[in-house]
Structure 1
């Protein structure tokens, strides 16, 4: 209650709710007003205390309307208990609470108030209908651990509450387990695709390099060489070369890349250095 009673602009607004639980424990020097409103004009509020123990100088005023003016519907103080009050209903779709406390109290003072927006049985219900009084309440209030129907039917519905219980797999909730499995699968898929791309690129590069080397070797081994007389020279093993007309000639090794001169693959004669007699 002390949080809701802070002095800011939200305090002046009507809070639209399907249901709420208000707690108060030994809150001192309070003087605040809170107004709640239903989402539909066909609804009204049911108020029920799960705990109520007020000091005689503390008062909780309940108004059946949108303002804390006029005659209040209830004035709750130390003389009231939750057993004597039971469930309380408004006639409008508004309820206004005015809580006034003094500067003294104990830890046992306070209350727990359950507020629920209900629709009467005469109206069609598309959500959840209580068993005892057949009130219609919002589906979000079912199986939330709070008795909104006052008869406990919204918390004891076996079919609904069992379906809303979340199971666990390997210590994780089903939703988180599915998220982890999908994330792991996507990471593995990305790794597999990356490795496959790398392997394909390496294979393609090795294939191209092998073909290039093979073509180069073939050009050296199958290339034809021409002699000085225009005849085709076919290289053979060793230093012996066979000409196209069948004549054989001996060429020193290591001269295949040197052009043939007029005398064939022969070492050019060394030049004689001129001799100048000493004068």
Structure 2
């Protein structure tokens, strides 16, 4: 792992994980524009140097945890330990809460090459902007074991060896910040990286806009299909339940008139109700009558 930011000592991201590192940048706010942290945090992370003979330096760039009770107890705190176990004997003497800035250059060293960070907050109001901490694996060279560029090492101006993958990454790992010196063309590389980052962000924005409009068009198309389906469904239902009466054919009208004005029954009367016996046409020869009566208006 390089010194690319490990964003967030948080439950939802990388809490409880362990990393072998050359360097790392720890922040209390993951993937957010505003530098803040959340309540109810209780997060542990362990880091170990890749090389067996390296130590790890903890350098606090900024610390702003102001939730303090009685000026003594840190209700929101950041603690470091020199082993993978969190106990009082392995606790490093660092500033746990309050305010620190990069100008104060607060550093502490874990001689074991192992650092466990513990970030905890209570349920009270968030008071402060959190923290930014740089972890750097380094060693002090000697005559028998100097810094070896062929072994991917870099000699800081203060005579410390760090990994050369930490050069020009925008994070000061050497105490004298010689790994970010403009003489090493770090400015141009940082500018190129920022330009590439802006181009990538623009591409992501365009892609998201395209996906947004595509989603709108698909939703509109589905809405049109649904509207047409509902229209035809309503049409067929109305046609079935509100069908207009079918008119009688000419032959049916003739037979109906013949039955009403047959010689047996006589012509249709104009009274309000007339009782008439109906005779089937097919049974004229027998003269068989029907017993049912019909009330004619």
Q: Deviations over 1:83-119 (max 9, x none)?
A: 5562211110100111111123446331110111111
Partner of 1:136: 161
Question: Quick one: distance in 2 between partners of 1:58 and 1:155?
Answer: 32
2:47 counterpart of 1:29:
no
Partner of 1:73: 92
- List gaps (5 residues or longer) in structure 2: 1-5, 29-35, 69-74, 197-297
Q: Deviations over 1:208-256 (max 9, x none)?
A: xxxxxxxxxxxxxxxxxxxxxxxxxxxxxxxxxxxxxxxxxxxxxxxxx
Larger radius of gyration: 1
Q: Map of 1:100-179 to 2, 5 A cutoff? A: 100-106=120-126, 108-122=128-142, 123-126=145-148, 127-132=153-158, 134-156=159-181, 158-159=183-184, 161=186, 164=189
Deviation at 1:26, TM superposition (A): 2.5
Question: Quick one: distance in 2 between partners of 1:80 and 1:3?
Answer: 19
Asked if structure 2 preserves the Cα contact closer than 8 Å seen for 1:4 and 1:34, the reply is yes
Q: Deviations over 1:50-76 (max 9, x none)?
A: 111112211111101122123211353
2:19 counterpart of 1:19:
no
TM-score (structure 2 length as normaliser): 0.49
Question: Quick one: distance in 1 between partners of 2:16 and 2:154?
Answer: 31
Question: Quick one: distance in 2 between partners of 1:99 and 1:79?
Answer: 14
Asked if structure 1 preserves the Cα contact closer than 8 Å seen for 2:55 and 2:113, the reply is yes
Judged with a 3 Å threshold, the aligned counterparts in structure 2 of structure 1 residues 50 and 12 are, in CA distance, closer, same or farther, namely closer
Once superposed, what is the RMSD of the aligned Cα atoms?
3.2
- List gaps (5 residues or longer) in structure 1: 173-279
Question: Quick one: distance in 2 between partners of 1:7 and 1:23?
Answer: 14
Q: Deviations over 1:174-196 (max 9, x none)?
A: xxxxxxxxxxxxxxxxxxxxxxx
Q: Deviations over 1:127-179 (max 9, x none)?
A: 111112x1111111111111111211101151453785787xxx99xxxxxxx
**Count of matched residue positions in the alignment of Structure 1 and Structure 2:** 169
Which structure shows the bigger proportion of residues in helix conformation?
Answer: 2
TM-score (structure 1 length as normaliser): 0.52
Q: Map of 1:197-216 to 2, 5 A cutoff? A: none
